[in-house]
């Protein structure tokens, strides 16, 4: 079990995060509960901001808000001088409602609705990443009607194999995202945007996938995209001023994952961009990256209460917890591995192998398969680590289970930033 950020083992046997004993936190806010080590989020933001810099071009670190977004998270990001990427009206609305500066918002999406595009223009979103020809036409029309201009990047697919789970690869030739650099139509689309009166094409966006553990995938993508920038420049004179390299930087979930050291990687990345640009006689004004998971995954822990236990005829020992695939669908979706502990009896060495399952009516409702863990008692607090990214944001109400609350832990204080859902919330939209 790996400890992250401010995590400590208290002498009392309780896990401490952000100076708070997690058992006390569950007494106050109940379970299941998402808790975040906000100091670790801040540290991650500054690790990105201090290392992703260059003497030759401006840089921007854009948090991919799909990983975890609440108003409180937007406020924290604004304090850290981060930008935000949103992919839906809902994410945009959350950011704007928190007072996040619109010019630092990047709007993504492969199928933005007309309403979402209008909303982005209305709110004065800084950059819209256009995904396809239909969208370019629609956005142009909207800008015309609203008498506004939009700064855009074109999402292109560089066709890079990013060695990650098939469901989170985004740059293979059949990906639904962006337009391929290998399609002849792409050139025509770029020409169309450049010639459009209302759209100001600043450059390109690529994103090669998520939970990428190989630095070489990024270096390969730089070569490919710089070649593309050069090719377009040679063919009809359009030279990109901005380049957004997307996110996807892998994190530690279990011993199977060996993420590359971020600081060194980011320095090498900016150097390689500069070198590739110089070799092609190109220059670039601004380069962006969009980390999501690597900012929040390890800052988040989910706290559950141990409920019933069961030994099966087949020999499996189950621990059932009061949440499950509704608050963490990642095992079911991607066969993700997690580490966990009995957080209120850390020094009890009486261990056994258990499978931790949730309370949903679904056999695939497993959180962790075959983990060596302290023999639990009913009522113990079970902490699952590394649940800060794509857990709260992908939570569901399957079986009409309530979504947990979110509590930020820092300097011995627990601050509730999202209330646990109530049964009344479940009926909010029922007519």
Interface contacts to ligand LLP, rule CB under 6 A: 64, 66-67, 85, 108, 168, 207, 210-211, 246-249, 290-294, 330, 334, 389-390
Least distance in angstroms from the C-beta of 117 to ligand LLP: 17
Written in H, E and C, the secondary structure of the chain is: CCCCCCCEECCCCCEEECCEEHHHHHHHHCCCEEEEEHHHHHHHHHHHHHHCCCCCCEEEEEEEHHHCCCHHHHHHHHHCCCEEEECCHHHHHHHHHCCCCHHHEEECCCCCCHHHHHHHHHCCCCEEEECCHHHHHHHHHHHHHHCCCEEEEEEEECCCCCCCCHHHECCCCCCCCCEECCCHHHHHHHHHHHHCCCEEEEEEECCCECCECCHHHHHHHHHHHHHHHHHHHHHHCCCCCEEECCCCECCCCCCCCCCCCHHHHHHHHHHHHHHHHHHCCCCCCEEEECCCHHHHHHHEEEEEEEEEEEECCCCCEEEEECCCCCCCCHHHHHCCCCCEEECCCCCCCCEEEEEEECCCCCCCCEEEEEEEEECCCCCCEEEEECCCCCCHHHCCCHHHCCCCEEEEEECCEEEEEECCCCHHHHHCCCC
Query: What does the alpha-carbon distance between residue 119 and residue 113 come to, in Å, rounded to a whole number?
Result: 10
Task: Between 34 and 249, name the residue whose CB sits nearer to ligand LLP.
Answer: 249
Whether the link from the prior residue into 208 is cis, omega within 30° of 0, is no
Which burial class, exposed, middle or buried, applies to 3 when counting CB atoms under 10 A from its CB (0-12, 13-18, 19+)? Answer: middle
Q: Are 159 and 180 in contact (CB under 8 A)?
A: yes
Task: Between 206 and 414, name the residue whose CB sits nearer to ligand LLP.
Answer: 206
Strand partners, 130: 154
Strand partners, 17: 20
Least distance in angstroms from the C-beta of 178 to ligand LLP: 9
Least distance in angstroms from the C-beta of 422 to ligand LLP: 27
CB atoms within 10 A of CB 233: 15
Task: Between 5 and 109, name the residue whose CB sits nearer to ligand LLP.
Answer: 109
Least distance in angstroms from the C-beta of 13 to ligand LLP: 32
Exposure class string for 52-71: b at 16+ Cβ within 10 A, else e:
bebeebebbbbbbbbbbbbe
Task: Between 218 and 408, name the residue whose CB sits nearer to ligand LLP.
Answer: 218
Task: Between 29 and 392, name the residue whose CB sits nearer to ligand LLP.
Answer: 392
The residue written with tokens 């689309």 in the block is: 189
Task: Between 219 and 334, name the residue whose CB sits nearer to ligand LLP.
Answer: 334
Least distance in angstroms from the C-beta of 389 to ligand LLP: 6
**Would you call 360 a catalytic residue per the annotation?**
no
Least distance in angstroms from the C-beta of 256 to ligand LLP: 14
Least distance in angstroms from the C-beta of 338 to ligand LLP: 12
The residue written with tokens 């994410």 in the block is: 91
Catalytic residue selected from 21, 183, 360, 361? 361
Task: Between 293 and 305, name the residue whose CB sits nearer to ligand LLP.
Answer: 293
Least distance in angstroms from the C-beta of 290 to ligand LLP: 4
Least distance in angstroms from the C-beta of 351 to ligand LLP: 29
Task: Between 42 and 293, name the residue whose CB sits nearer to ligand LLP.
Answer: 293
Task: Between 158 and 376, name the residue whose CB sits nearer to ligand LLP.
Answer: 158
Supply the residues annotated as catalytic: 361
């Amino acid at each position: 079990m790996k400890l992250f950020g401010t995590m400590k083992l208290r002498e009392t046997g309780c896990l401490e995060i952000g100076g708070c004993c997690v058992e006390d936190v569950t007494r106050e806010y109940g379970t299941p509960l998402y808790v975040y080590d906000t100091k670790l989020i801040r540290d991650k933001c500054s690790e990105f901001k201090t290392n992703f810099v260059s003497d030759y071009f401006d840089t921007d670190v854009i948090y991919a808000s799909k990983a975890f977004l609440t108003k409180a998270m937007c406020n924290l990001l604004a304090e850290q001088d981060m930008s935000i990427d949103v992919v839906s009206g809902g994410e945009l609305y959350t950011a704007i409602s928190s007072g996040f500066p619109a010019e630092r918002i990047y709007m993504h999406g492969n199928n933005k609705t007309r309403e979402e595009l209008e909303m982005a223009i209305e709110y004065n979103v800084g950059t819209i990443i256009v995904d396809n020809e239909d969208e370019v036409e629609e956005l142009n029309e909207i800008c015309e009607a609203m008498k506004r201009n939009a700064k855009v990047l074109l999402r292109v697919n560089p066709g890079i194999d990013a060695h990650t789970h098939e469901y989170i690869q985004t740059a293979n030739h059949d990906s639904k995202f962006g337009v391929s650099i290998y399609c002849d139509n792409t050139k025509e689309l770029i020409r169309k945007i450049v010639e459009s009166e209302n759209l100001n094409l600043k450059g390109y966006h690529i994103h090669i996938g998520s939970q990428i553990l190989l630095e070489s995938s990024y270096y390969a993508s730089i070569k490919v995209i710089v070649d593309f920038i050069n090719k377009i420049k040679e063919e009809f004179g359009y030279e990109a001023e901005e380049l957004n390299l997307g996110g996807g930087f892998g994190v530690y979930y279990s011993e199977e994952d060996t993420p590359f050291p971020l600081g060194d990687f980011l320095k090498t990345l900016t150097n390689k961009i500069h070198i590739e640009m110089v070799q092609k006689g190109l220059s670039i004004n601004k380069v962006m990256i969009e980390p999501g998971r690597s900012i929040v995954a390890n800052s988040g822990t989910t706290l559950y209460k141990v409920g019933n236990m069961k030994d099966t005829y087949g020999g499996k020992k189950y621990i059932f917890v009061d949440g499950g695939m509704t608050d963490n669908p990642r095992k079911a979706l991607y066969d993700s591995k997690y580490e966990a502990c009995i957080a209120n009896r850390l020094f009890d060495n009486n261990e056994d192998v258990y499978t931790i399952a949730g309370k949903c009516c679904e056999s695939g409702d497993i959180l962790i398969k075959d983990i060596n863990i302290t023999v639990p008692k009913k009522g113990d607090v079970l902490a699952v680590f590394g649940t800060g990214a794509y857990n709260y944001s992908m939570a569901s109400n399957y079986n009409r289970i309530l979504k947990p609350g979110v509590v930020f832990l820092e300097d011995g204080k627990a601050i509730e930033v999202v209330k646990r859902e109530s049964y009344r919330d479940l009926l909010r939209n029922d007519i």
